[in-house]
Each structure stands twice: as structure tokens, then as C-alpha cells.
Amino acid sequence: MTKTVTDVVCPFCGTLCDDLEVVVSDDGKDLLEVYNACAIGAEKFLHSQAKDRITRPRMRQEDGSWKEISYDEAAEYTARILADAKKPLMYGWSSTNCEAQSIGSEIGEAVGAVMDNTATVCHGTSLIAVQDIGIPSCTLGEVKNRADRILFWGCNPAHAHPRHMSRYSIFPRGFFTGKGHAGRKIIVVDPRVTDTAHVADVHLQIEQGHDYELLDAFRVAFKGEKLPDFVAGIPKEKIYEVAETLKSGRFAIIFFGMGVTQSIGKNHNIDAAIAVTRDLNEYTKAAIMPMRGHYNVTGSGQVWGWQFGFPFAVDLSRGFARYNPGETTSNDLLRRDEVDAVFVLGSDPGAHFPFSSVKKIYNLPSVAIDPHETPTTEVCKVHVPVAFVGVEVGGCAYRMDNVPIETRKVVDAPEGMMTDEEFLKRVFARVKAIKGV
Amino acid sequence: MAEYLIKNGFVFDPVLGIRGDAADIAIKDGKIVETSAVKSPKVIDAAGKTVMAGGVDIHAHVAGPKVNIGRNFRPEDKLFNCKPGHGIERMQGGFSVPTTIRTGYDYAHMGYTTVMEAAMPPLYARHTHEEMRDTPILDQGAYPVFGNNWFVLEYLKNHEIENTAAYIAWLLRATKGYAVKVVNPGGTEAWAWGLNCENIHDPVPYFDITPAQIVKGLIEANEYLGLPHSMHVHANNLGTPGNYQTTLDTFKLSEGIKPNSKFGRDQVMHHTHVQFHSYGGEGFNFESKAPEIMDYVNTHDNITIDLGCVTLDETTTMTADGPFEHHLTELNHLKWANADVELETAAGVVPFVYSANNKANAVQWCIGLELGLLAKDFMRVFLTTDHPNAGPFIRYPRIMKWLMSQEARDQQFDAFKHKDKVIEATNLAGMDRELDLYEIAQMTRAGPAKSLGLAHMYGGLAPGLDGDVAIFDFNPNEPYAPDDIEKAFGNARHLFKSGVQVISDHEIASNGNKRTLWVNAKVNENPQVMRDVKEKFLRYYTVTLNNYEVAGHHYVPNPYVIEVDATQ
């Protein structure tokens, strides 16, 4: 006999779907099938069942081979490199639960670490823009129930957040949106003809790197002022038309992604996008939301927010929390040789950081805590495999609209494996012993 | 647990009726006991010092999503005020929106031991609880917001009190909430379309119900359940010149309703931060209507209020009154965050600078203090700043100074740029009343504890109450300067929380054993409400019903559950 677990929360992307159904074996050890999830989410659940999964910590030998070590030895190594370092970098935190993030913060305080999460190469620019100009936003249910103007800017949910369009933004029928897709106007701004652009009513195929100009042009168009014939490759008539579409809606929402946050202009693009949203609120109701990537990158910004006051790039090395993106952000620290140990949990900088940063990690005492083998585990000295959060252990995660949801455990982790939280507790105990506090 | 005997302090305690006489207070097993009940206590010499119960804050925004928006979007709020951790203290930062850790310590330094989070969006209940969990020392509870909730709007449109009550009971349990909070009733739902409800008869778009029906219905549902606290309201039209009429209209909705609660409260409505709701005149000619407001409050004993005093600081405003925050950002052109919450509520956050050079801000300062000085019964009028809206909570000792000293008020008047115009628009300059410490103890301890339905635990020094005791370096029988008040009450010498000494000689000595209070109200089975809940989650919420309830030890690791039985 098998059991079906309902209301399962998907620990993949910031959409944080919570309606999955997972079939497990009667003894709760094997995960057999996943329903309702997108292809990526289903794969994450099924991948936990891989027979060749690494289940014990391992340490790199002189000759480059791995040697299996115990969790105690791994905790000792981790505590030691953090305690011995003058300024360790504790990076990642986006694919784990808030409980692990919270203990990580305490370890960071004890050792004077720099705490940074994946926003540093993702929506960190959005967070900076919010500090400049604020952010009128809403929960995804407001979009589902009210929004009739949906604008995707520099993001491609069809591939990156596959169920976003059906659960929240384009297709669902909500309270005031009984016609679903038919009642909504969809606008996509993207230099590429993406699969999201295919479902749009209007696709503005912007010249790459000219987002700021087009955003500003919308602000001009809202006021009915004059525009040049083309802005960012878009004819002015089109801009006036889209501006009118946005203004005439009952509820407009802008979703934006890496296309604007990490292309030229960075946080200034987001400043402009938020200003567009503010302006729209003079005519109708409007909101804007970053398409957060990892399922709990939002949560790590929240945990650090209430514990330290900053959402990323938090430098604790002076004994109190400092925040100065450009100085206290991971890549800047690595490339300037300012950190002397690297701890990675719940992220894969090996795959996503510039090669120059990855080389620095390779040359430093380093530990990667991750259920998977990743490019990061390949460059670190110690790899600590852990249970999958949201599959083998529960815990709190924050959706892209900051709504916290408790993820569920659906199967047991392989015999003897620790969770992030358990491993960090052990590290913290060792750090305290080493530091004598 | 250790026994303590606090000897010879000047005790101010409205519960025991002690007005500054020297007395001994004993603590044993976490509670206040008769002095004869302690055998070999640790003796604290309180001679020449003031002894009071631990402070109780009935209304502050200290935990939850909008507070954290305030922290994360204001790095400038941490500038030059971060404090390294040492000993058992963790690192701290922030001024108007301090980190949770600083929040706990700063309240403790003021001698406060219980703080209620004033607005919890139900969908974000987990976030609120996580922050409260990480706030050391303090006992806390949170008020879920009901005034714009679709269930409530639909039930109260037809005056279905029993269904409303059943839904309240369900939501309090699901969110681990403490009381029924109402913010800009109907107006915040209207804000989801960019609109507002400007008086108590202004209908809510689509839902076709008025704010008056919402407020009155929620009072009745609250009394149907017999909850510890009354309905707790922030009325429509906050901050608008001429709004005192709306405030009086809202007060009047409580008339004729009697409290039904076993928890010893006498009110059926608590109206919060009344300073923001006591404005007359219009536009730039706005003026104080504190006398009209207090005439009403003083003559109607089924309402309690808190002041919401402006402290003349740079701060971070945050409220579930979405349209008001939008109005504010249009006014001061500072950054604006907004967060509308599906089916439930909204919130806005805008930094604000209250300046002594600004006539309007100075008038607001006067109104807050006038309300306090015009009060007749301090068991019904409480000291707050609506932290951080009118000012950060760390200014409570400064407000005590202003309330207790005409000299201190005169000093502030002299610092106003538009002193004459301010005096003309207000009544404060002519007031010579100076409150005493007994009245302050009513406003900050016994009064709020009673209003919350927690007089059996907090707010006094009678045997049987929780061992929450603060000792201040203040001798009321010797001459003092006004600033001595602020200094002494901002830095408690010793503090006990549930019998644990958490401050010793001004230093944090323990992180305490914080509890989260919530109310578990039992009602008769109500299939209609449960069907409505299921349907709304299926069709309109973006989380499933089974993923909504706050459960799990890591959100509320140390709960204190108050049981209410409304099944009869």
C-alpha cells in the first residue's frame, strides 16, 4: 500500500506552490510519485531518491580524491575554519528553512562573519532600490483576485517559475476576475521572444540594456507628455498605447526578474520601475513584485531583517551589523581577498559566481553544506550532505510575496543523515567551545 | 526558583492602592507573594528608589511583516546606533524600528515586561510569531486584524453575529492571536482599489457595508465570545483635520453595549492612538479637539483609549491603514512601501520626520499630552506612542516627564519655531496639571493590564500576580529636575520578569523565559462558517487551508493559552 501526502509545499522556486500531492511507500521511506508540481519541482522531489546520493560528509584529500568523514569531524572542521578566520564568508541560505538561517545568524555573530545570500547576484539590486524609493506591493492572491493588467518585465515565468502564470498571474479565476485570462491584458517586456511573450497580448521587444529609458518613457506617457519617435527600439505610439492600457486597468501588477536587476543600470532600473508603479497609483491601483528565485531567499532576508536590520550583505565582523553593498557583498569580498574562509549552505556559487570568485573559494578553507553534488562541492574542501528541506524535513519558507509557509516532511532522509538545522547546532556548540563563550 | 525580597522601596501600585509608601515586595516561584512566604530570599535594597509592577504596553508595532519592511528598507535607521553584543546580549541595531533583540532589551530597560503587537495580518501570522519568538524577555501577544476581512464583511452585512464570532474564534486559533483588531474599517478593503472610507457611513466598495456596521458588529461578536480584551479599533479618517467627529461617531457605536467577560475588564471598545484622531479645523488651520474627545471619554466608562503621543523624532510610520500611508507619502515625498494582503488587510510604511520647526507636528505633540492631562480616570487612558508611528517606544520616559512636569512642557514650547501659532491652536499651554507616579502606574501598568483582561497576571504587585517588578533610581520625596524622571524611567536599576531577575544594576542579566499569549475560544460547531472557510480557501486564497494554521513548536515555542468558553 502507498500513502498520499497532500498540501505539500514545493521547495524549488519563490512561487512556493503548496498544493502538491506526493505518493510515498507505506513505510514512509520511498517517494514514488509527485502530482501537481511543475517539471522542475517534481524532479527536486524525485532526485532525493537517487540511489547514488551522497549520504555522508567527505573531505578532499591531497590527491584530489574524497575521504568519508563523520558528521562530528565535519562539524569540527567547519567550526574550526570559522573560528580561526578573521573574516569568514557565510554565503547561501536561500535553499534552507528559516530555523537553519536563524542558527546560522548566531554562528555568524559568534565568529564575526559576513552573512550574504543569493540576492547578492539576483534581487539584491531590487532590495537596494526598495531602500531608495520603497515598494508598493501585495500578496499573490491580490493579483489572482483583482489584477487585470499584468506586466512581466525581464522575466520568463514560463521557464523560471512555471506555475506562476496558472496559480497567480495570467490564468486563475479569482473573486473579481471571474473571466480569468480573458479578463486580463498581458504585457511582456523582453528583448527575447520567450515562451511567456507568446502568451502576451503585447510584447515590447526592447533593445537589450535600455530598460531604464523605456521605464522613464512610461512615466512621460502617463502624463501625456512628448516622447521621441523611438525609445529603446519601441515606437512611441506603442508606448502611449501600453501606458493607456496600464492606466485604464482596475489593478495593475508589474513582475520583474533578472533581465532588469542584473543588466546595465541594475538598481536604477528598479528605482524607475517602482516609480512607474507609484505613478500608476495616481490613476488606478498598482503593485510591483520581484520574481524571487530560490524558494526561501526571501526568508533569509526576513530573518536577517529582524535580527540585524538588513536583508543581505550583512557584515558582522566588527561585532555589530554593517551593510554596504559593493563592499560587503560576496563577490567583492572574494575578489579583493578580504575573506579568509568560505562557508556555503543552500546555494551554488560554484555555478553562479564569476570564475574569478570561484577560484578564490577553491584556494580558501571552505565547506559546502548541500544535499546535492554541485560545482560548489567540487571546489570546497569539505562537503556535508544534508536532508532536503521540504522533502525530508519541514520548516518555514517565505514566498516571493513574503508570505511564510511551513514546508512539510514527506519522507525520511536516508539513515543517519543530518538536517541543516541539526548540523548547524552541532557546529555552533563547537564554535562556542572553541571561542570559550 | 530563587526567592527575592525587595525592601523599603517607594511603591506605586494601583492594584494594592499604595501611593509611594515604603513597602516590601516578595517574589517566589515566579509570583508575587506575601513577605512572610519567603524563607531565605535574596534581598534587594530598594531604599530611596521607586518600585512598580512591570510595564504593560497595550499597543505597539514591534513584530511582523510591516515592521520588518521598515527595518529592511531603512538602513539609515541603523546609522551610528548599532551596539555590539557582549555576555549574554546579542548585537543590536535600529532606532525607530529596532531589531527584535534590541526591542526586548530596550523595553526591559524601561521596566516593561509585557508588550502587545498591535496588528497581525492573519496570512503573515507565522512571520509575526517568528519575530516575537526572537524578542527576548517580554511576554507578548498579537492582535489579528478583522476590520477588512472578507468573512467579516460578508457576515456583518447581514448582522450575523454568531457566524462572525465563530469565524473570530477559528481565526484566533489558526493564527494564535490574542484580540480583535480593527484598522480603518472598510477603508483598507477600499484601498485595494485605491479608494478609502472617509466616515463611518461611507460604504465599502462592492461589499455594501458601512464602517459603522463593521465596528458595532465586531463589538457584539467580541462580547458574544467574552474575549479577554475588547474590540480594539483604529477608526476611519486617521490624521485628517476635522476627523474628531468621526472619532466621536465611532465612540458612540459602543453605547448601550455591556461588557461580557470573565476577565475583569469594564470596556467594550478600546480606541487606540487617539491623538491622531482628535483634530479639528481643516487644512493648515487644524487645531486640537482633545477637550471634546476627553469630555466623551471621561463620561463613558465602557471605553478605554491610548494616547499615541508624538515625540518629535524621525521615525517610521507603519499601519494597516493603507490609504493613509499613501496620503502620507504624497505629503512628505519619502519612500513608500505598501503590502495588500488577500482577503484580509493591507499595510503601508513611510518614514516621517516630526519636527519642532513644523507647526502641525507641534500641534500633534500638544494634543497627545492634552489627552493625558484632561483624563479623569487613568485606569482607562494609557500611555503609548503607537510605536513607531508617533515616535519610538524608547521615548515613554520622556512622555512621562512631559506629563509630570509643566516646566518640561514649557521648555519644549520654547523650542517651537511657531510657538505662538501652536499655542493658539491648542490648549496645552494653559494646563498646569502635573501627573504623579501613581497615575503613571495606572496608565502604564494596572490600566492596560485590566483593559487586556490580564489583571489576574500583570499590572500590579498584589500576591498571586506574576513576579514582574521594576525598580527605578528615583526618589519621589526629594527634589528633582524634570530630566531626572526621563533618566530614571529609561534605565531601570533592577527588573524581574516572572520571578527571574532580567536586569541587575542596569545590565541585562537574563534573556528571560518569554511567553506568547493567545486566546483559544471555544464555540459551538458552526458548519456554515466551516463551509465558508473551505470555499474561500479553495477559490480565493493562494495557500491551502491545511497550510494556513500556525502550528509547530518553532513558531510559538512557549505558549500561554487563555481559554474562553463561548459554547453556552
B341–A contact, CB cutoff 8 A: yes
B130–A contact, CB cutoff 8 A: yes
In which band, very low, low, confident or very high, does the pLDDT at A252 lie, cut at 50, 70 and 90?
very high
In which band, very low, low, confident or very high, does the pLDDT at A19 lie, cut at 50, 70 and 90?
very high
Same domain flag for B73 and B217: yes
Name beta bridge partners: A393: A389
pLDDT at B3: 96
| pLDDT tens per residue across span B30-66 | 999 999 999 999 999 999 999 999 999 999 999 999 9
What is the separation of C-alpha B1 from the centre of its chain, rounded to a whole number of angstroms?
A: 31
Closest-CA residue of A relative to B333 is A133
Tell me how far apart the alpha carbons of residues A345 and B434 are, in angstroms, rounded to a whole number.
Answer: 58
Neighbouring CB atoms inside 10 A of A198's CB total 10
A267 part of a folded domain = yes
Q: Name the one residue in this structure whose C-alpha cell is 524581574.
A: B496
- The answer to whether the beta carbons of residues B528 and A126 sit under 8 Å apart is no
Same domain flag for A179 and A283: yes
Query: Residue B1 above 80 pLDDT?
Result: no
Same domain flag for B464 and B416: no
Q: Three cell numbers at B296?
A: 466623551
Side-chain-side CA neighbours of residue A200 (13 Å): 25
Q: From the list A167, A287, A323, which residue is nearest B340 (CB)?
A: A287
Which of B519, B536, B527 lies closest to B169, judged by CA?
B519
Tell me how far apart the alpha carbons of residues B103 and B268 are, in angstroms, rounded to a whole number.
Answer: 30
How close does chain B come to A45, measured CA to CA in Å?
19
Same domain flag for B217 and B357: yes
pLDDT at B18: 98
Please, where are the H alpha helices in A323-374? 330-335, 349-352, 355-362
Q: What is the mean pLDDT of chain A?
A: 97
Query: Residue B284 above 90 pLDDT?
Result: no
Q: Three cell numbers at A205?
A: 521587444
**CATH classification at residue A158:** 3.40.228.10
| pLDDT tens per residue across span A392-432 | 999 999 999 999 999 999 999 999 999 999 999 999 999 99
SS3 A273: helix
Q: Name the one residue in this structure whose C-alpha cell is 487563555.
A: B562
Give the domain extent around A30. 2-47
Q: Which amino acid is at A166?
A: S
CA distances from B380 to A32, A176, B234, B401, B437 (A): 61, 43, 16, 20, 16
Q: Please count the structural domains in chain B.
A: 2
- The answer to whether the beta carbons of residues B96 and B312 sit under 8 Å apart is no
A67 part of a folded domain = yes
Tell me how far apart the alpha carbons of residues B123 and B144 are, in angstroms, rounded to a whole number.
Answer: 9
Which of A100, A104, A97 lies closest to A394, judged by CA?
A97
Query: Residue B142 above 90 pLDDT?
Result: yes
Same domain flag for A263 and A392: no
| pLDDT tens per residue across span A153-210 | 999 999 999 999 999 999 999 999 999 999 999 999 999 999 999 999 999 999 999 9
Q: From the list B68, B539, B554, which residue is nearest A99 (CB)?
A: B554
B114 part of a folded domain = yes
Please, is A26 exposed, middle or buried when counting C-beta atoms within 10 Å of its C-beta (0-12, 13-18, 19+)?
A: exposed
Same domain flag for B434 and B406: yes
Test A404 with B91 for CB contact under 8 angstroms: no
Q: Contacts of residue B124 in chain A, CB cutoff 8 Å?
A: 402-404
Q: Please count the structural domains in chain A.
A: 3
Backbone angles phi, psi at A71, to 5 degrees: -60, -35
Tell me how far apart the alpha carbons of residues B445 and B407 are, in angstroms, rounded to a whole number.
Answer: 25
Tell me how far apart the alpha carbons of residues B193 and B87 are, in angstroms, rounded to a whole number.
Answer: 51
Q: Three cell numbers at A425?
A: 547546532
| pLDDT tens per residue across span A426-435 | 999 999 999 9
Name beta bridge partners: B183: B234
**CATH classification at residue B26:** 2.30.40.10
Give the domain extent around B152. 53-451
In which band, very low, low, confident or very high, does the pLDDT at A6 lie, cut at 50, 70 and 90?
very high
Tell me how far apart the alpha carbons of residues B273 and B382 are, in angstroms, rounded to a whole number.
Answer: 9
Mean pLDDT of B335-340: 98
**CATH classification at residue A395:** 3.40.50.740
Test A138 with B340 for CB contact under 8 angstroms: yes
Mean pLDDT of A94-109: 97
- The answer to whether the beta carbons of residues B424 and B362 sit under 8 Å apart is no
Q: Three cell numbers at B427?
A: 490648549
Same domain flag for A315 and A223: no
Q: Contacts of residue A287 in chain B, CB cutoff 8 Å?
A: 338, 340
Percent of all residues in chain B with a pLDDT value above 90, rounded to a whole number: 98
Same domain flag for B149 and B162: yes
Q: Contacts of residue B192 in chain A, CB cutoff 8 Å?
A: 142, 146, 251, 285
The ipTM estimated for the assembled molecules is 0.97
How close does chain B come to A9, measured CA to CA in Å?
9
Same domain flag for A81 and A178: no
Side-chain-side CA neighbours of residue B233 (13 Å): 37
pLDDT at A143: 98
CA distances from B357 to B101, B332, B360, B364 (A): 33, 15, 9, 12
- Domain boundary pick from A290, A321, A338: A290
Buried b (16+ CB within 10 A) or exposed e, A258-286: bbbbbbebbbbbbbbbbbbbbbbbeebbb
B11 part of a folded domain = yes
| pLDDT tens per residue across span B9-25 | 999 999 999 999 999 99
Mean pLDDT of A102-120: 97
Q: Contacts of residue B130 in chain A, CB cutoff 8 Å?
A: 98, 303, 306, 396, 404
A53 part of a folded domain = no
How close does chain A come to B98, measured CA to CA in Å?
8
B515 part of a folded domain = no
In which band, very low, low, confident or very high, does the pLDDT at B200 lie, cut at 50, 70 and 90?
very high
B557 part of a folded domain = no
Same domain flag for B42 and B75: no
A363 part of a folded domain = yes
Same domain flag for A270 and A393: no
Same domain flag for A181 and A276: yes
Q: Contacts of residue B544 in chain A, CB cutoff 8 Å?
A: 7, 18-19
In which band, very low, low, confident or very high, does the pLDDT at A1 lie, cut at 50, 70 and 90?
confident
- The answer to whether the beta carbons of residues A251 and A239 sit under 8 Å apart is no
Percent of all residues in chain B with a pLDDT value above 70, rounded to a whole number: 100
Same domain flag for B85 and B227: yes
Same domain flag for A312 and A350: yes
Q: Three cell numbers at B228?
A: 479577554
Same domain flag for A20 and A162: no
Which of A139, A162, A18, A151 lies closest to A401, judged by CA?
A139
Q: What residues contact B41, with CB distance under 8 A and at least 6 apart? A: B2, B3, B4, B5, B26, B27, B28
Mean pLDDT of A246-251: 98
A52 part of a folded domain = no
Same domain flag for A306 and A281: no
pLDDT at B472: 98
Neighbouring CB atoms inside 10 A of B379's CB total 21
Same domain flag for B151 and B89: yes
- The answer to whether the beta carbons of residues A277 and A287 sit under 8 Å apart is yes
Same domain flag for B258 and B275: yes
CA distances from B181 to A45, B320, B432, B456 (A): 41, 10, 35, 22
Mean pLDDT of B143-161: 98
- Domain boundary pick from A260, A290, A320: A290
Same domain flag for A156 and A273: yes
Mean pLDDT of B71-94: 95
Helix or strand run (H / E) with residue B363: helix B359-373
pLDDT at B155: 98
Q: Contacts of residue B343 in chain A, CB cutoff 8 Å?
A: 141, 145
In which band, very low, low, confident or very high, does the pLDDT at A15 lie, cut at 50, 70 and 90?
very high
Name beta bridge partners: A253: A150, A287
- The answer to whether the beta carbons of residues B176 and B518 sit under 8 Å apart is yes
- The answer to whether the beta carbons of residues B140 and B117 sit under 8 Å apart is yes
Helix or strand run (H / E) with residue A21: strand A20-25
Tell me how far apart the alpha carbons of residues A78 and A369 are, in angstroms, rounded to a whole number.
Answer: 10
- The answer to whether the beta carbons of residues B355 and B272 sit under 8 Å apart is no
Please, where are the H alpha helices in A33-133? 39-47, 71-84, 98-111, 124-133
B555 part of a folded domain = no
Test A306 with B542 for CB contact under 8 angstroms: no
Same domain flag for B482 and B443: no
B152 part of a folded domain = yes
B183 part of a folded domain = yes
B17 part of a folded domain = yes
pLDDT at B283: 83
Same domain flag for B23 and B58: no
**CATH classification at residue B225:** 3.20.20
Same domain flag for A342 and A278: no
Tell me how far apart the alpha carbons of residues B526 and B529 are, in angstroms, rounded to a whole number.
Answer: 6
What is the β-pairing status of strands B42-45 and B50-53? unpaired
Same domain flag for B368 and B474: no
Mean pLDDT of A139-153: 98
Tell me how far apart the alpha carbons of residues B260 and B266 are, in angstroms, rounded to a whole number.
Answer: 9
In which band, very low, low, confident or very high, does the pLDDT at A437 lie, cut at 50, 70 and 90?
confident
SS3 B343: coil
A·B CB contacts under 8 A: 186
Query: Residue B553 above 90 pLDDT?
Result: no
- Cis peptide leading into residue B388 (ω within 30°): yes
Same domain flag for A68 and A161: no
pLDDT at B568: 76
pLDDT at B89: 94
Tell me how far apart the alpha carbons of residues A271 and A340 are, in angstroms, rounded to a whole number.
Answer: 35
Rg (alpha carbons) of chain B, rounded to whole number: 22
Query: Residue B364 above 80 pLDDT?
Result: yes
Q: What is the mean pLDDT of chain B?
A: 97
A132–B contact, CB cutoff 8 A: yes
Q: Three cell numbers at B33?
A: 507573594
Query: Residue A436 above 90 pLDDT?
Result: no
